[in-house]
Chain A
Amino acid sequence: MSANLQKLENHLATRSYLEGYTPSQADVHVFKAISSAPDASAYPHASRWYTHIKSYAAEHGSLAGSSTAGEVFTDGSGNTPAVAAEDDDEVDLFGDDDDEDAEAERVKAERVAAYNLKKSAKPKTIAKSVVTLEVKPWDDTTNMAGLEKVVRSVEWDGLVWGSSKLVPVGYGINKLQITLVIEDEKISLDELQEKLEEFDEYIMSTDVAAMQKL
């Protein structure tokens, strides 16, 4: 569960609490959906609120009210990529998700990849999937920029690379997490993984971490 920080920020610009004028379970609900204090420069009001609600930590269980008013700030459906929109202009590339939230990052990356694919003016009826691929290097001496370069060097018809980031896996080693959109007809993921693993001076293994039909 994550929270829609921008929505929270807008709400709290003119209000001290989520509901009414006192701390309640609505505040606790959203507070618990946020893993750490929102960035004060990006979300000053949400940050102010977070610090304040934190000061009630010992009373979180006993505060009055219900969580209902808080639920509109925590997403149930918000995590599905907003690519269903018919009009390109409606695609919210940089939606309201928490930048620090890995899940939100992933969703954003997917949206960008999906959007890029859409922009490339392929007919809309073609079945596509958005994929999160994890690419592991051999060890901490692997040049990750070089690794990313060889990954992106694969230019196949029906494949669009999206954004990527490095994710620590321990012992100073990072894996590359990269989003891509494929046309299901044209691209076989097995083939793609085989192809990538040929770059064995960089790549030890690849895994499909997530896949979703568009």
Chain B
Amino acid sequence: MASIGSLYAPLGHLRARTVNSTVAYAGLKVDRPVYTHFQDNKKSDFLGNFPHGKIPAFRSNSGVSIVEGAAIARYFAALAPESGLLPKSLEDQALVDQWCHLIETEVFDNTLLTWFICQGKFGPYSKETHDIVTTRERRAIGTVNQHLEDKTYLVGDRITLADLTLASAMNFALAKTLDTEGRAKYPNVVKHFEMVSTEPSLKELFGKIEYAEKAIEYQSPN
């Protein structure tokens, strides 16, 4: 199979997990130009193609530039219809989009925010802000957990892009914010993660998962 274009999405990068798992599961071939994050994205070559200057970024063979991990992943899924990552009916596609969006904006973004807050990257530490973000993250995880009470995959009975998105977000949350007690609270999400992250084509990408024993906390500098 010929390469479909150039993908800027470092394999170990958590922001890039969804798009990289889509490549792996769909069995697509992409070129991965040598790229050093926080350096190459500031160079004029890169900015010429991708003015926003962020990754994930994809440049197709025909010269179309696409950014936003979710958009690239969806495009990749559509390129491999036999993978089933994007279901056939428009309704099911909408449901896949629904979960992808909810998981990315309400789970992943809040995990990331928590991480930033704990590193002091969002100004002076506020326990109150930290708690609000945790509550928002957990509300979304709780909704997904509830949905998985009677389902094995998020949409239909086979793996879709929504499942890759969830496993990718949970990869981050399980390592940073979901401690032992949190995992006990959302068992369906944990077992979903274990199922997806060990899928033969995804196993290598997800690697060995270290679950957080304790959620990350703010370490005061003094």
Seen from chain A, the residues whose Cβ lies within 8 Å of a Cβ on chain B are 13-17, 20-22, 40, 44, 47-49, 51-52, 55-56
Contacts and interface: CB of A to CB of B under 8 A. Distances in A.
A40 B191 contact: no
Q: Which label, helix, strand, loop or mixed, suits the secondary structure of the B interface?
A: loop
Contacts of B190: 14
Contacts, number: 37
B191 A52 contact: no
Interface string B185-215: 0010011101100110000000000000000
A197 B4 CA distance: 84
Contacts of A16: 152, 191-192, 194-195
A51 B194 CA distance: 20
Given A14-B187, A16-B192, A55-B157, A48 B152 contact: yes
Interface of B: 149-153, 157-158, 187, 190-192, 194-195, 198-199
The 8 closest A-B pairs by CB, nearest first: A55-B157, A52-B152, A16-B195, A21-B198, A21-B195, A48-B150, A16-B191, A14-B191
B187 A40 contact: no
19 contacts: A14-B190, A14-B191, A15-B191, A16-B192, A20-B198, A21-B194, A21-B198, A21-B199, A22-B195, A40-B150, A44-B149, A44-B150, A48-B149, A48-B151, A48-B152, A49-B152, A52-B151, A52-B152, A55-B157
Contacts of B153: 52
Nearest to B157: A55
B186 to A, nearest CB: 11
B195 to A, nearest CB: 4
A59 to B, nearest CB: 11
A20 B199 CA distance: 10
Given A16-B192, A21-B194, A21-B198, A47 B150 contact: yes
A129 to B, nearest CB: 44
Contacts of B149: 44, 48
Contacts of A44: 149-150
Contacts of A21: 194-195, 198-199
Interface centre among A16, A20, A52, A56 (most CB of B within 10 A): A16
A52 B199 CA distance: 17
Contact of B157 (A40, A47, A52): A52
A206 B153 CA distance: 52
Given A16-B191, A17-B195, 6 more contacts: A15-B191, A20-B198, A21-B199, A52-B151, A52-B153, A52-B157
Nearest to A49: B152
A5 to B, nearest CB: 16
A40 B149 CA distance: 10
B115 to A, nearest CB: 27
A21 B167 CA distance: 14
A17 B199 CA distance: 13
B104 to A, nearest CB: 23
A44 B194 CA distance: 19
B202 to A, nearest CB: 10
Contacts of A20: 198
Interface centre among A15, A21, A40, A55 (most CB of B within 10 A): A21
Contacts of A56: 157
A55 B150 CA distance: 14
Contacts of A15: 191, 194
A47 B153 CA distance: 14
Contacts of B158: 55
A44 B146 CA distance: 11
A49 B148 CA distance: 11
